[in-house]
Structures are given as C-alpha cells and as structure tokens.
Amino acid sequence: MKSNVAPKIAAATDRAELVRMLETIDARLRWLSSWIIHNANHIRESRDGLKVGGHQASCASMTAIMSALYFHALRPQDKVAVKPHAGPVLHAIHYLLGNQSLEQLQAFRAMGGAQSYPSRTKDRIPVDFSTGSVGLGVAITAFSSLVQDYLIAHGQMHESDAGRMIALMGDAELDEGNIYECLIEGYKHDIRNCWWIVDYNRQSLDSTTADRMFRRFDDIFETCGWRVLTLKHGKLQREVFQRPGGKAIEQWIDDCPNAEYAALTYQGGAAWRTRLTADLSGNRSALKLIASFDDDQLSALMLNLGGHCIETLLDAFAEADDERPTMFIAYTVKGYGLPFQGHKDNHAGLMNPTQIAALRTSLGINEGEEWAPFAGMGANGAAAVQAFIEPRRPAIIPQRPVPGPITVPKRFPVPDGKEQSTQAAFGRILLDLAKSGDPFADRIVTTSPDVTVSTNLGAFVNQRGLFRRQELKDIFAGYKIPSPQKWEGHEAGQHIELGIAENNLFLMLAALGLSAPLFGQRLLPVGTVYDPFISRGLDALNYACYQDARFLLVATPSGLTLGPEGGAHQSINTPLIGMGQPGLDYFEPAFADELALFMQRAFARIDAPDGGSTYLRLTTRAIEQVERTDDSWEADALKGGYWLRHPAPGANAAIAFTGALAPEVLAAWDELREDISGLGLLNITSPDLLHRDWSAAAGSRWQNGERQPAHIEKLLAPLSSSAVIVTAIDGSPGALSWIGAVRGHRVSGLGLDRFGQTGDLPDLYSAYRLDSDAMIDAMAGLFLD
C-alpha cells in the first residue's frame, strides 16, 4: 500500500510557503501604502499649505485581506470594489507588479497622480468600480452580479465565465441605508456570485462602532439568503485557546467592548498584561498562560485577529468557493502595525517623520530605498517574491474583452397624433422599437422603481417581458382576469423591475451602464422615475456618472404641470440638476418629434467612444403638435435650441421657453406679435448643452487664443443688442434666465421658485405666473422698465 505521508508533507510545505509569501506581501503593502501617504504630506512640496491627507490606519487594517484576495483567491473574471480609504493599497499592489509608475505614486492626491479613492476614469491602473461615496461601491457589486446573470441568460456570456463581484468595505459603511435597500433587492432577484468582505476594525471617523448592533448583521444577511463567515480569531489565538487557561482568555476577548479593545491595543503589551491579570485574577491557569508571554508576544497574541491572519483568510475564501452570496466579517485592528494602532483618532492620523523612520528600520529598508518595491528583502528574497506574484498577473490585470459596436437606427419612429404628451410618446417609441425586430432593440434593458406603468414602460414590458432567472407566471392572466399589463417573467425578459427605492434605480443603471467595460457586452439601459424623486437617489446618480456608466434616464411627470398630485410630487430644481451633473446631457422636449430625435441621440451616445448618459425630462400634459415643413430645425435642436418662430433681423424682443409650457408660450407669442414687430420664439430643448457650450466657448479664448461663438450666441445674434427676453420653464427660472448674460439682454424669468400645490392647470399657471397672461405682463414690464 502506498503511503500518503509524502503528499501531505508536500501540501503542508506548499501551504507554509504560500502563507509566508502572503505575509511578506502583507508587510510590503502596509509599508508602501504608508509611504505613499507620508510622501504626499511630509516630503512633497506644499504650495498651498493645506493638508493633503490620506488614511494610513485604514490601509493598514486591509493589507492582509487584500494580500490573500489579490495574490491567491482572485480570478481573472472577478471584479473588485476597493474600500475608498484603502486606495493606496490597490496602487501598491499594481506597483509591485510593475503596472503602476513611481511618478503616479509620488503624485498621490496631486494633479494627474494616483487618485485619493479608486477611480475608473481618472486612475491609470485598472479599477473595476469607482468608490469614494461610502456604501455605493459596495451595493453596486450586487447589482453587477444581477447584470452578469442577465448577460448569461441572454446568451451574451458563458456561465463558465461568471465571476464574483467583490466589495472590500469598512464596517462603518454598514451604517449606510443604501446597503439594506440593495440587500432587499438582491434577495428578490436571487443574486449570486457576490462577496462582501467587511474590514471590521470597529472604528469609524468619529468613534468606535456599536458593540450590540454588529451582532445583528448576521441575522439580517442570513435572512436575505447570504452566508455569513465571521473571522474573529487568528490561528495563533485559536491555538492558545486550546491550552490550559485559554478558554478564559477567549471568553474575555469575546466579552471585551470595542472601545476597550482599541484603547488597550494602542497602549500595548504592558497594558494588556495589567488588564488581563486583573480581570482573570481568580483563574490560575489563565494567569500562568499570560505570564508565559513577554509584552511583545502578548500584544501580538491579542492582535492576532482573523482579518490579519493569512491562514484564516485563506480558509474562509476556500470555504465560500461557490455561487452563494457571502459576507465575511473580518475582525481587524485599525492602524495595525503602525504606532497609532487602535487610537480613536487615527482615522486621518499621519505618522510623523520619526515614526515612519522607525517603521522603515523595523522592515530592514535602508534610507533612500523607500520606493524600491522589494527593498529590505535581499536579492534572493526579492526574487522569490517576484517569482511568486508574477503568475498572479492575469488575475489582477486581466484582459478585458472589447465590445463590438451597436448599430443604432438613424431615425426613430415619431408617434402619430395631433395632441400628445412626451411621456406617452416615449412609451410608444419604445414599443415600436420592441416590435421592430431590429437587433438593436435586443440590447435595450429597462428598469424602474415600481413606477413602470405610470411612466409608460408597460407596453414595452408586455412586448419583451420581465427578466427573471426563474420563470414567473402572470397569475391574473392565468385566471383570465382582464388587465392591460400582461407581464411574465423569464430569462429572455428585458425589464428589471425594482422596488420603490430610487437609490437602487441609479445603482442598477450604473451597473447596467458598465456592462461593456466590465463584461465586454454593451447594453442600452433605460431607467424611468418620477421627476421630483431624482433627488432621492442623487448621490447614486452622481456616482454612476462619475465612473462613466452609460444609460438613458427618463424622468416623468415633471414640474407644476403634474397639478392634482400636489407640491410633494411637483419638481422644481431638476432642470438645475440636469445642468449641473457632469456626464449627463439634459433635454426637455416639448413635442414628440423632438423626443424621437433626442432618444436616438441618447442611444447612440451610450455606445460612442466619447459618449455618456442622457436625462429626458418629460410630462403627462398632452399638447398640440407643431407642423413641420422640413427637418432643418433638427440640427439646432440637438445643440440645445432652435427658433420655433424666427425673429426679424434687429428684433427687439423674444420669448424663450422649454417643454410643457408650449401652448401658453404660443398663445402669448400670437397675441404679442401684433404689437411687437419681428417677435421671436426660441424653443430651448437643452438648457444644459446651451450653457455648457457657452461656458466652453468663453474659456477657449484664454486657452487657445481664439474663440468660436457658442450656439446660443448664434441663436441670439439676430436680436437687437437692446432687445428684451421673457423666459419660461416649468421648473427653476434660473435654468433659462442666464441667457440674458450672453449678449447683455434684459430678461424676465418665469418659473417655479416655491413649492406648488394641488389644482388644475389654469389655476396653477395663473397662481405661479406661468400662463400666457403672465408672459404678456412680463414682456410689458421689460418694455416699461
């Protein structure tokens, strides 16, 4: 019979070598992340006297976790969202692989250098998910796992290529409400292949975290179908617990409040000895066990928590080697291995030059060799580590598939109808696309936070179905109960229905909008929401745009025009949000043909190399459509505005408007033109593009020495220099009144600057000065002044 001793010895040897290498990398990452921050704050020239900042303590609590993950558990198909304050550790990992430059690290938090927090668009190393807005970088991994399942179900990915969506998170992020909104949605959609690894250092920015609350997280996550693995004790602690008196020490550790543990950690071995000796004074075995360690050994024992123990981490990652979503609670020490470890003020603390020099000496790094990737290891040691990490390169720096282009139809169908609302026209355009059979429509995926029907997505869902990994029958249809909504869920469905949390909508759009760079397959996401409730998810919307997620956001109904719903449902400032949000082009069409034009542009922009996202602000108000004699207006409309009624050369007045107020504006123009010769009527389709173009044109004078006129300047050129303009929008008047600054025209801006109320449109428009009479009065006031 063959002996199995030799294979066991070989396996143990391999395991020991793996642990040794990862522990070496752990120490190296702790040093490099600390030195990157130290250089930025203490060595690099400061021209403004401001603290550069950085989070040495937050990095130090993560280095073992990131060493075990990146250099052992990670696979090429996995995607990782790194805790914002551990960004320097990610840069250090790439530096060890030669994938990050010294110049970038030396410019950490400087112009053009390594970013403060991992950034998909601004960092030069590969970053799967931008982080920085606490909690959102965690939640997006769950929605990305859903997107991955969507692509697999639609035949755009192979099941064998499925990766884990991994979030490395600080424990304080679990205070963020969006975590639990996401958790509920993930449970409903049965997400899989998702890991959340909690750096449980029990310290937030201001304080230590609550002892009682964290014990409930196990229940919350397990209720939602997650496996929870708690990594509290490292291998050394577990071995000591088996010795006489060890159980008493284990019980003491488990009972010790977080704040007490942190304070003793900072004070060190002598403080541990004093406290343990006092608290366990009646247990001779425990006292004898404590006495067997010197102060340094005792401190090392008490800090041997699961999140710092490579062997414990390796075992935990191996245990979760399946598709079940898993939460790892890895106990750590904030600032581990640094002079301020455990101190309650260490969140933004920085080592001084004396302290960093002591750390350098302890690691055997010579002065002047601080940036050397493998300094202090000796030639043989450095070569061994390099040989160990090189095979990990494909997992850490994977080759991302490049998506093929999508052919977007040159024109979208314009719905028939003498009177239409832009919201209804949106639903009909999407339905026509769904029924067209064009492969382009197969890439569209819609989503909505429980307002699918009321935002006119229902017909598209009837045609294309709900996305579900398990088949979902329409029970009402089965009982032959009449309903216009004929929704069935299946793997081929193209609508992802969400609960009412708008934050989840924008995270879902962010994940869908990153499908091309993450998975190599471009989707065309469309999300609908009530316009006033954009504000509920504004942080997540900004987060999506910051990392260049591509989508079409359709917000409807908008403004005071949603009369009977009352002030809480009427949006005032959303035009300003559309104008102020980078990466998002805002349009507000008045007519159905404008909407079709902007929707085509939006889909094309999703797939364009220099593209982005689009926000359409729509309305439920049905208005009479204008008759077109040609399509000459389209080019100007796409730039942000066109003359619906051209002014005469040298005209001394114009009305400029946006969106649903077209009937009132046309009525006012029709009455005023008898008294004001050559009166112009300017339809501003995108205050956003107009203002951005104007600002860029003004800036180009100083950057390039020459200046091309902006589109709004060209539009206003026919007017007399002394002309007056009345602007009108169903939103904040500031969205349009700025055009008076373009050529010095006097402006009277009509719009909403206070909360609305219930009522019909004649009453509301009269009360809030949005009717034709108010426009006529405003024009008269400008002439009288």
Q: For 435-447, how does the pLDDT look when each residue is reduced to its tens digit (9 = 90+)?
A: 998 999 999 999 9
Spatial distance between the Cα atoms of 370 and 259, rounded to a whole number of angstroms: 34
What was the pLDDT predicted at 591? Answer: 98
Confidence of residue 214 (pLDDT cuts 50, 70, 90): low
What was the pLDDT predicted at 208? Answer: 59
Spatial distance between the Cα atoms of 155 and 153, rounded to a whole number of angstroms: 6
Q: Is the peptide bond before 557 cis (omega within 30 degrees of 0)?
A: yes
Average pLDDT of the segment spanning 188-200: 95
What was the pLDDT predicted at 485? Answer: 77
Average pLDDT of the segment spanning 337-344: 92
Average pLDDT of the segment spanning 682-686: 98
pLDDT of 205 higher than 70 = no
What was the pLDDT predicted at 212? Answer: 58
Greatest pairwise CA separation for the chain in angstroms: 111
Where does residue 356 rank: exposed (0-12), middle (13-18), buried (19+ CB within 10 A)?
A: buried
What was the pLDDT predicted at 482? Answer: 77
Nearest-CA neighbor of 259 among 193, 336, 203? 203
In the chain, % of residues over pLDDT 90: 83
β-pairing, 524-529 vs 552-555, is parallel
What was the pLDDT predicted at 206? Answer: 54
Confidence of residue 210 (pLDDT cuts 50, 70, 90): low
DSSP per residue, 468-494: -SS-B--HHHHTT---S----EETT--
What was the pLDDT predicted at 706? Answer: 78
Confidence of residue 450 (pLDDT cuts 50, 70, 90): confident
Please state the separation of Cα 88 from the chain's center in Å.
19
pLDDT of 756 higher than 90 = no
Spatial distance between the Cα atoms of 169 and 84, rounded to a whole number of angstroms: 8
Average pLDDT of the segment spanning 364-384: 95
9-18, 225-234, 458-467, range with the lowest pLDDT: 9-18
What was the pLDDT predicted at 127? Answer: 97
pLDDT of 340 higher than 80 = yes
Q: In whole numbers, what is the pLDDT of the chain averaged over residues?
A: 93
Nearest-CA neighbor of 487 among 463, 456, 454, 455? 463
Q: Which residues pair with 502 in a beta bridge?
A: none
What was the pLDDT predicted at 670? Answer: 96
CB 93 within 8 A of CB 24: no
Q: What is the pTM of this model?
A: 0.95
Residues with Cβ within 8 Å of 433's Cβ and at least 6 positions away in sequence, in order, are 412, 413, 440, 441, 444
Residues 760-783 have pLDDT tens digits of 999 999 999 999 999 999 999 999
5-9, 376-380, 535-539, 552-556, range with the lowest pLDDT: 5-9
Average pLDDT of the segment spanning 3-23: 82
Q: Which residues pair with 39 in a beta bridge?
A: none
**First-to-last C-alpha distance (Å) of the chain:** 108
Nearest-CA neighbor of 489 among 464, 524, 452? 464
Average pLDDT of the segment spanning 675-703: 93
CB 338 within 8 A of CB 56: yes
Average pLDDT of the segment spanning 198-223: 75
Nearest-CA neighbor of 689 among 605, 779, 775? 605
What was the pLDDT predicted at 100? Answer: 97
CB 107 within 8 A of CB 535: no
Residues 585-597 have pLDDT tens digits of 999 999 999 999 9
Nearest-CA neighbor of 195 among 315, 307, 73? 73
Torsion sign over Cα 156, 161, 162, 168 = negative
pLDDT of 469 higher than 90 = no
Spatial distance between the Cα atoms of 698 and 716, rounded to a whole number of angstroms: 16
Average pLDDT of the segment spanning 612-628: 96
pLDDT of 50 higher than 60 = yes
In the chain, % of residues over pLDDT 70: 97
Residues 691-750 have pLDDT tens digits of 999 999 988 877 777 788 999 999 999 999 999 999 999 999 999 999 999 999 999 999
Confidence of residue 566 (pLDDT cuts 50, 70, 90): confident
Average pLDDT of the segment spanning 649-655: 97
What was the pLDDT predicted at 478? Answer: 78
Spatial distance between the Cα atoms of 360 and 606, rounded to a whole number of angstroms: 49
Average pLDDT of the segment spanning 605-632: 95
98-102, 418-422, 568-572, range with the lowest pLDDT: 568-572
Average pLDDT of the segment spanning 448-470: 92
Confidence of residue 341 (pLDDT cuts 50, 70, 90): very high
Confidence of residue 3 (pLDDT cuts 50, 70, 90): low
Nearest-CA neighbor of 642 among 653, 660, 654? 654
Question: How many CB atoms are located within 10 Å of the residue 253 CB?
Answer: 18
pLDDT of 272 higher than 80 = yes
pLDDT of 66 higher than 80 = yes
What was the pLDDT predicted at 1? Answer: 47
Residues 502-522 have pLDDT tens digits of 999 999 999 999 999 999 999
pLDDT of 213 higher than 70 = no
Residues 114-165 have pLDDT tens digits of 999 999 999 999 999 999 877 899 999 999 999 999 999 999 999 999 999 9
Torsion sign over Cα 157, 163, 169, 174 = positive
